[in-house]
Structure 1
Amino acid sequence: MVASSHSAMAFPLLKYLLVFTCFMIGICSAQLTNNFYDRTCPKVIKTIKKAVDDAVYRERRMGASLLRLHFHDCFVQGCDASVLLDDTPNFTGEKNSFPNANSLRGFEVIDNIKSQLEELCPGVVSCADILAVAASEAVGILGGQRWNVPLGRRDSTSASLSEANSDIPAPFLDLNGLISTFSNKGFTVQEMVTLSGAHTIGLVRCRFFRDRIYNETNIDPSFSAAMKEECPFDDGDDNLSPFDSKTPMYFDNAYYRNLIESKGLVHSDQQLFVDGSGLTKRQVIAYSKNFGRFKHDFANAMFKMSQLSPLTGSDGQIRNNCHFINPTTDE
């Protein structure tokens, strides 16, 4: 079909708007493709999926850990595997930030995958792509919907402790703070509610919910009493409890039913269903009644998140070891 003169004139403007949008919100998938490794490492997807399947079947909690690793990576500098970098004499990585210290896990699963891929196709597959595929597979195993993961990310040569402390959504945020934090990464209010549903799986430390169970009033009394047994007032900072007390190891919509019952464990979760929350409250109710809608929306939101500011082309590097930047040739 031959384009009309009007369409031909409109195309440059459309292209400009797409580029401008990519620049403004840091989401640009033009250089990520589904067939990126078809020639250079054709078994990459199969290798990652099998390793994740094995890890999650050994320990179901690992599914939430792998999803969280990818989430915390993408919210700091984009999806560039900066979260995996260990501290060096020259910089402090993101692992020791407030949201991550003594909390992030699953590194051994990523290391195992990287080791296998280095044997199959040395220096080809990035740690950032491994994280992205692993997250999708982990959610799928636990009952959610896998999402398409275009590939071609490269790994960063830096990390940011300060951004990890400031950019990752904190469990004590009020609703406006949550909206602002997600908006800064290009997500709508609706997508924020959807992505918060990641807390349908996984565990959280006592220090992050103690203030809620002892001081807040919009909490079910019996639930609060049970949680106080798990999280004493002056002890047990690192005691673990599930975000979702109903089905913590299954990706479902019980998280949203908990919020309606005032059983959100951390302050930021319950904020989605506080008086006056309007749009978020209606969305919580909708998801509580329709798991199919939630898991579909979650997959779409994660697809978008997986494309936050990827390093592509000649930017960054393909790390030989996910924990360390490759040594330069003059070292």
Structure 2
Amino acid sequence: MELTNIPHLASSSNFFFSSCSRCSCRGRRTEKAVIAVSVAGIRCGADSACSEITEQQNLDSLPGSKNSRCYRRRDFAAAALIPFLLPRVDMASAAESYDASIIQNGARNVLSKVKAAGVLRLVFHDAGTFDVAEKSGGMNGSIIYEVDRPENAGLSKSLKILQKAKEGIDQIQKVSWADLIAVAGAEAVALCGGPEIPVRLGRLDSSIADPVGKLPEETLDAVALKTSFRNKGFSTQEMVVLSGAHTIGGKGFGNPNVFDNSYFKVLLEKPRPTSSGMPIGLPTDWALTEDDECLRWINIYAEDQAKFFADFQDAYTKLVNSGASWRTA
């Protein structure tokens, strides 16, 4: 990203002008770069020398001369003042100084509660390719190259939605697909009544697709699911809380446009319920209820929505940072 309005010093390869508050004279210092600062209220300690600069130029260049020592003292004092007089710039902050609200507003302008589940699914399918051991995949925007894969069926619609947002945002400041998808997913959760999730910015996009076969299949049992998520760096608790994202959308867990803990409450109903004659959720959702460790977390989140929101926020943040490459100053 290009940084603008960063204060900087303009240097001259030959000389600087030296001035003081009481004198209007300027001396050209040759063969020696001098940084000078004029500060109201600071008096020149060598006023007599200032009136005789022209005549004393040759003397100034002599290492042992009195005037040379005088100028050196003034130059040193002036240089020492620079850190206090110039605006302080934190380069690490400057690298990420672009306005996050522009990305948030761009995402909000194209989102609706009906579209929220599809956009949130984009996050999971982009970041879900991460593999800790292989150090591959992750939140890198590669999903734009992977929409033709069977596991990503239907995601092209969500990408088209965000494409409109990206076009508008890019006219103001460039945004990577990875950042946009991460922010849009968080906005989708908040739009449906879920927790507000701050998203760190600065992800770089991949220029190629991620390896195939990295997303967990819908037919996995609990043991295989736990292994899959562990390979991505997630605990069983994090896997369960992230699965709670299925509370929105058309999977039948409560109100499809409301992000709450209905997902966990429905999972505790036995036998597996149906909605309009169709099974609710995916096989992997119900596989969680067959594992004691997973079931313990399901019960916790079914009873405490606030804890679900807090833990989901943490797990989502970890998810959208997984495997990301970041811009540097």
C-alpha change, 1:36 and 1:75, in structure 2 (3 Å) is farther
Number of residue pairs matched by the alignment: 222
Structure 1 residue 105 corresponds to structure 2 residue 157: yes
Distance 1:185 1:101 in 2: 22
- Tell whether the 8 Å contact from 1:61 to 1:249 is kept in structure 2 after alignment: yes
In the TM superposition, what whole-angstrom CA distance separates every residue of 1:214-265 from its partner, at most 9, and x where no partner exists?
Answer: xxxxxxxxxxxxxxxxxxxxxxxxxxxx213421111011111111113352
Q: Distance in 2 between matches of 1:268 and 1:130?
A: 28
**Residue 62 of structure 1: CA displacement?**
1.1
Query: Which residue of structure 1 lines up, in the alignment, with residue 144 of structure 2?
Result: 84
Shift of 1:34: 7.9
Among 100, 103, 121, which residue is 1:48 paired with?
103
TM-score (norm 2): 0.63
TM-score, reference length from structure 1: 0.63
The within-5 A match list for 1:10-21 is none
The answer (yes or no) to whether the contact 1:52–1:134 under 8 Å persists in 2 is yes
Once the two structures are superposed, the pairs formed by residues 154-173 of structure 1 within 5 Å of their partners are 154-160=204-210, 162-163=211-212, 166-173=213-220
Letter in 2 for 1:267: P
Instruction: Report the Cα offset of residue 104 of structure 1.
Output: 4.8
Shift of 1:52: 2.8
Q: Do the aligned partners of residues 137 and 35 (structure 1) sit closer, same or farther apart at CA in structure 2, a change above 3 Å counting?
A: farther
| Structure number, greater radius of gyration | 2
Q: 1:170: how far off? A: 1.9
Tell whether the 8 Å contact from 1:82 to 1:155 is kept in structure 2 after alignment.
yes
User: What secondary structure, in the 3-state scheme, does the structure 2 residue paired with 1:96 have?
Assistant: coil
State the SS of the aligned residue for 1:155: coil
Between 1 and 2, higher relative CO (CA 8 Å, sep ≥ 6) is seen in: 1
DSSP 3-state at the match of 1:105: helix
Residue 147 of structure 2 corresponds to: 95
Equivalent runs, 1:128-147 vs 2, <5 Å = 128-147=178-197
Structure 1: how far apart are the matches of 2:94 and 2:223? 40
Q: 1:281-292 counterparts in 2 under 5 A?
A: 281-292=295-306
1:186 aligns with 233
Q: Is the 8 A contact 2:195 2:313 kept in 1?
A: yes
Q: 1:67 matched to which residue of 2?
A: 120
- When residues 107 and 281 of structure 1 are mapped into structure 2, their CA distance, relative to the original with a 3 A threshold, is same
Consecutive unaligned residues in structure 2, runs of 5 or more: 1-91, 130-136, 274-279
> How far does residue 271 in structure 1 lie from its aligned partner after superposition?
1.0
Aligned counterparts, 1:1-331, within 5 A: 36-38=95-97, 41-42=98-99, 45-57=100-112, 60-76=113-129, 77-85=137-145, 94-121=146-173, 124-160=174-210, 162-163=211-212, 166-202=213-249, 242-261=250-269, 262-263=272-273, 264-274=280-290, 277-313=291-327
Deviation at 1:182, TM superposition (A): 0.6
Question: What is the rounded CA distance, in whole Å, between the counterparts of 2:254 and 2:262 in structure 1?
Answer: 7
Q: Cα RMSD between the aligned structures? A: 1.9
Distance 2:93 2:232 in 1: 23
**Partner secondary structure for residue 186 of structure 1:** coil
- Structure 2 counterpart of 1:132, which letter? A
SS for the counterpart of 1:145 is coil
Tell me the percent identity: 32
Please state how far the C-alpha of 1:171 moved relative to its aligned partner.
1.6
